[in-house]
A and B are shown apart, each in its own frame.
Chain A
């Protein structure tokens, strides 16, 4: 099959776009070159979209109605620009979840249009299989991401929602979806099966995210990222478009890889995160604990006492967690660090891979507050340094510093690598209240003799520390 000159040109544009995307990703491997990578990918994107439009309108005549396209592109670009420029960094997990929802929606709808217009019977085996997978994954990503968004925003309870037979019924639905796609291969014109596949995808998105607790959001967001990519790749197979297959594979694999890293950082398997309904077990435990006498009381200190500890410190490691994001305390952290540094104190930051609600959440927040990224350290790099550190300042982190992960075999987080904040000479913990954290697990760190709890809003407390140290 020989392509016309115009077709060749468009295909070469797609090839160039694919290469630019891969080069862009490579540049993202280093903070120094990352922005150049974004630029490369932008050029690739513009080339691919412009090529498609010019070719579709001017040469092949496949695109005959441009008013809808122009309208949708303009509105979409305006909304995208607004979201891109004005969403606060603390809302980044929500924005990422929403963007997966949009991605799933776009891909799912394209699949439905393909089926509507090219009729089942006229589709090849490859096209119908790919379209079925595309619609199922797209629908699942759409509703699943909306669920994740709702959980992050607090519209939906962050606690795992479980019921009897949950995993079995979900498995049955997944099997049913795959079975119906199989049926479509043999009876491509069975439209009912196609729409049942789409509906099952919509339902599965809701049901699969329902039992996953808020603290497991990093893994879920990665997985939804992966599904969005795989759905795009399926579209590429259905349309015979390589650049879609390539981007889908990159996106799908990236999400999968990040998800694996997150699971590993929690010492749990993928399936345990997805089907383990984390947090359900501790709820039972909490009931028994309510009846039993409480353990040793936590050592609650005043702002002044904690400020004195900080004043005497020569080295501080800050351990940020989701609480820092909730209280938007990143700038207050930076201000305190500035004052400490003027006193000659060394300030570093220890970032746990699953701190926050998505991979890299804490890094972005601290970057926003102008913390130089060479002051941020990964768990494996900094963990041995805690024992030689005067103060570990825990800002809204809980599970990632819970020593039960090291010692208590019955703890649901046993075996998870944690930051050794308890090894510091003094551990100052900023926490809203003495209630158990999101996962409902007791934290032994809070009752250790070298721990001082300072209760209240983290941002307010940090500002008070800064004021006290300036005196």
Chain B
């Protein structure tokens, strides 16, 4: 096993536990925004897609990478917008904020 893997596993599991603590506090009320939100942040795979589409690679790789950039950027932009749009609608008694 390489040290890189060990470090990666540390990061993965500590993030998972942090996620558990934080996410279990999100009320039922906000579960749909939560899904849209986590989906948007996992669009961070855009970082990987950018390297795939922009690398000094063959034509096929560039096209596949560009499709990946397209899909990931739809998720990032759309995900944040829609999360915010939903959250704007949640109002407490007393009408508009």
Contacts and interface: CB of A to CB of B under 8 A. Distances in A.
B53 A69 contact: yes
A110 B49 contact: yes
A245 B33 contact: no
Given A76-B71, A232-B45, A246-B11, A26 B22 contact: yes
Contact of B54 (A49, A68, A222, A367): A68
Given A48-B47, A253-B23, A359-B31, A76 B77 contact: yes
Interface in B48-97: 48-58, 60-95
A249 B82 CA distance: 22
Interface string A17-28: 110011011101
Given A79-B78, A124-B2, A359 B32 contact: yes
Contacts, number: 369
Nearest to A42: B80
Contacts of A376: 29
A126 B54 CA distance: 24
Given A100-B39, A107-B45, A251-B38, A373 B82 contact: no
Contacts of B55: 62-65, 113, 117
Given A28-B30, A102-B71, A253-B23, A232 B54 contact: no
Given A105-B71, A110-B45, A254-B19, A38 B80 contact: yes
Interface in A9-47: 17-18, 21-22, 24-26, 28-31, 34-35, 37-38, 41-42, 44-45
A53 B43 CA distance: 15
B69 A229 contact: no
Contact of A116 (B16, B47, B61, B78): B61
B41 A251 contact: yes
A434 interface: no
Interface stretch (A169-177, A189-197, A236-244): A236-244
A360 B31 contact: yes
B69 A358 contact: no
A278 to B, nearest CB: 21
B82 A83 contact: yes
B74 A367 contact: no
A353 interface: yes
Contacts of B78: 79-81, 83-84, 95, 99
Contacts of A116: 57-58, 60-61, 64
Place the interface of chain A in its size category: 35 or more
Interface string A236-275: 1101111111111111111101100000000000000000
A242 B5 CA distance: 11
B2 A24 contact: no
A79 B74 CA distance: 6
Most buried by B among A96, A106, A360, A361: A106
Interface in B7-26: 8, 11-13, 15-16, 18-20, 22-26
Contact of A235 (B18, B45, B58): B45
Contacts of B95: 370
A354 to B, nearest CB: 11
Contact of A65 (B4, B22, B25, B53): B53
Given A76-B73, A248-B42, A364-B32, A110 B19 contact: no
B93 A372 contact: yes
A378 interface: yes
Contacts of B61: 113, 116-117
A66 B54 contact: yes
A71 interface: yes
B88 A69 contact: no
A251 B51 contact: no
A364 B64 CA distance: 35
A306 interface: no
A250 B41 contact: yes
A99 B32 contact: no
27 contacts: A25-B37, A41-B40, A48-B47, A52-B47, A62-B51, A76-B71, A79-B78, A83-B82, A84-B78, A92-B32, A103-B39, A105-B68, A106-B45, A107-B68, A110-B65, A113-B55, A124-B2, A232-B42, A242-B8, A244-B45, A246-B11, A248-B42, A249-B15, A253-B19, A361-B32, A372-B92, A375-B93
* Interface pairs A-B: 9 shortest CB-CB: A84-B81, A76-B73, A80-B77, A360-B31, A63-B54, A80-B78, A359-B31, A360-B32, A249-B15
Interface of A: 17-18, 21-22, 24-26, 28-31, 34-35, 37-38, 41-42, 44-45, 48-49, 52-53, 56-57, 62-66, 68-69, 71-73, 75-77, 79-81, 83-85, 87, 89, 92, 95-96, 99-100, 102-103, 105-107, 109-110, 112-114, 116-117, 124-126, 221-222, 225, 228-229, 232-233, 235-237, 239-255, 257-258, 351, 353, 358-361, 363-364, 367-368, 370, 372-376, 378
